[in-house]
Structure 1
Amino acid sequence: MFTPRTPNPAIAALMVTAATAFIAGTTLLAKAIGTGALGTPLNPLQISQGRFLFAFVLVAGATGILRPALGNIRWRMHLARTAFGWAGVTLMFASVAFIPMADATAISFLNPVFAMMLAIPLLGEKVGPVRWAAAAIAMSGALILLRPTPESFQPAAMLALCAAAAMGMELIFIKKLSGREPVLQILLINNGIGLCIATAAVLPVWQPPTPAQWAALAGIGALMAAAQVLYVNALARADASFVAPFSYAALIFAALYDLAVFGAVPDAVSAAGAAVILAGALLLAWREARARTPIPPGSGQDQRREAL
């Protein structure tokens, strides 16, 4: 079981930044596998299966060493959370084979926006005008990245948009599970169920990877597991509203990796769309931080904040 740590916002910020570098690294490796840079391109379903396989091996190994107490498992929530997570990861890996990593990463930042909208019917949450404005701004940025003209429309960008929607749904179930089960138990079950789903889905298209592709698949699993550990430990040292903005560093890492390895230079449209999405995401993060700030009872500020 995860043991709470002494609050340390600086360390938390560094951990989240490192986690985003690792996550961007998984996208880079997925692009290398999916575009044929390491051999005959593998299907995104196989890349996703490799991600869950190696992440599960690592988490299961950690569980065997630490031997935490496991129990009171909410199987339906885990199954739903993992199904949406698997869909989101697979769609994301598919999108980066066709569009720049920075574009796909920027679109993926819409997942908290989708989670916000889904929380209304599924969690009964109230959403004020500021959060709706943040969602509208972020969605406008996604529309820019989609390039919705007959000459420039990128159908593959829709894959990243669907990935963000699936990951937004996953966040709903993560929110339901958080605080109810140990972190290591959640990671173990998530990766175990994900491996089962991914393995069943990949059977019709599976092909023997090259040694370089096996190494890349192992790297994806290891980087994803490391990113999860870092992010969980960061949340133990600082509020989620504080660490959330640092996760947007993934866009910088994705652009740098894409430039260094594939020579992809973001154009003006990509830069504009990413900037708009970031603006909406940061506005949403600011709203969530404000909502969690303690206020004096009876000051009247609680009613004004609720209206946001």
Structure 2
Amino acid sequence: MKTNQEQRDARVTAGLMVAATSLFAATSVLAKGLGVGAFGPALPPLMVSFGRFAFALAGIAAVAALMRPRLTRPAWGTHAARTLCGWGGVTLMFAAVARMPLPDATAISFLSPVFTMILAIPLLGERVGPVRWSAAAIALIGAAILLRPGDAVQLAAFIALGAAAAMGLEAIFIKRLTRRESPLQILLVNNAMGAAIAATVALAVWTTPSPPQWAALAAIGLLMACGQALNLLAMRRADASFVAPFFYLTLIWAAGFDLFLFGVLPDGISLIGAAVLVSGAALLVWRDRQRGGAARPPGA
């Protein structure tokens, strides 16, 4: 039986994760608004990802300046690989949410643990048992439903699938980094590199944002940084097995935001596909947590 302190810790952790997932979903809905022209002329995904990294860097750098953490020598190669995957995943995700229902894109992003599991075989030398393969198969069936073969949204769904693959590979590099560097240093280096990459690439499609667009870009970066900070706080207070299931609240937040702001109500195919995919992904994450493996939900 849990003590009163343990119960309070569990409630605080749950509150942190509810807040974090709401912020993660909010960044996606803001990116969708920028992509569909809700704040002015539609901005390309490359510019949206620039805002995400640049303003997140500003927020994290401000925190680092106040905390003055002890920094170690970064593993530059691993950071570069992680950042390229993260930038690619974010950019593809922002492109997807502008072209398809937000809950569908969010659900497909939950395939990232499946890609992490598959990639961990050659990259980390992991062995995958029948339970994990079964969980991956269930998640892929859900993704196949959401891909809606023959439907006009199919291309956008494949873009979201590419985002999930990039985030799955990113988790491999995150696992390597967390073995030797602090979370704040990882976030600081990642966002600095990401801002440099995103700014360089965004120059090819640059159009000066309007004041509302600048505000939305700043909100995306700062909300993402706050969400990551809340996630890290939650991870420090509780076991990963307790924290991981809360990531799937992002799907509920995304559906609510999409309905309230864009009037998009998930149809039967979306509900069935998301339910099947999340069931498989959640089973995979649970199994991986039992084994202490690498698979994790997006944002973990």
1:115 aligns with 116
CA drift at 1:282: 1.8
Show structure 1 runs of 5+ residues with no match: 1-5, 293-308
**Match in the other structure for 1:231:** 231
Q: What amino acid does structure 1 have at the position aligned with 2:167?
A: M
- Say if 1:242 and 1:289, in contact at 8 Å, map to a contact too: no
Structure 2 matches for 1:44-193, cutoff 5 A? 44-149=45-150, 151-152=151-152, 154-193=154-193
- CA–CA separation in structure 1 for the residues paired with 2:18 and 2:277: 19
Question: Per-residue CA shift, 1:179-202, capped at 9, x if unaligned?
Answer: 311111111100000001101111
1:268 is the counterpart of 2:268: yes
Contact (CA 8 Å) 1:32, 1:38: kept in 2 or not? yes
Q: Which residue of 2 aligns with 1:295?
A: none
- Aligned residue number for residue 23 of structure 1: 24
State the shift of 1:117 in Å: 0.8
Q: Deviations over 1:61-112 (max 9, x none)?
A: 1111111111221000000001000000000000011100000000000011
Q: Which residue of 2 aligns with 1:305?
A: none
Farther off after superposition, 151-160 or 26-35: 151-160
Q: How many residues align?
A: 286
SS in 2 for 1:203: helix
Q: CA deviation at 1:152?
A: 5.0
Structure 2-normalised TM-score? 0.93
Matched residue, 1:211: 211
Q: In structure 2, what is the Cα distance between the partners aligned to 1:30 and 1:78? A: 25
Amino acid at match of 2:171: L
Distance 2:110 2:18 in 1: 15
Per-residue CA deviations over 1:247-301 (Å, capped at 9, x if unaligned) read 0000000000000000000000000100001110121133134335xxxxxxxxx
Shift of 1:240: 1.5
Structure 2 CA distance, aligned partners of 1:119 and 1:259? Answer: 37
Percent identity over the alignment is 56
What is the TM-score with the length of structure 1 in the denominator?
0.90
Kept after mapping to 2: 8 A contact 1:137/1:279: yes
Equivalents in 1 of 2:60, 2:287: separation in Å? 34
Give the conservation status (yes or no) of the 8 Å contact 2:113–2:285. Answer: no
In the alignment, does 2:241 pair up with 1:241?
yes
Task: Determine the C-alpha separation between the residues in 2 that align with 1:217 and 1:223.
Answer: 10
CA apart distance, 1:126: 1.1
Match of 1:301 in 2: none
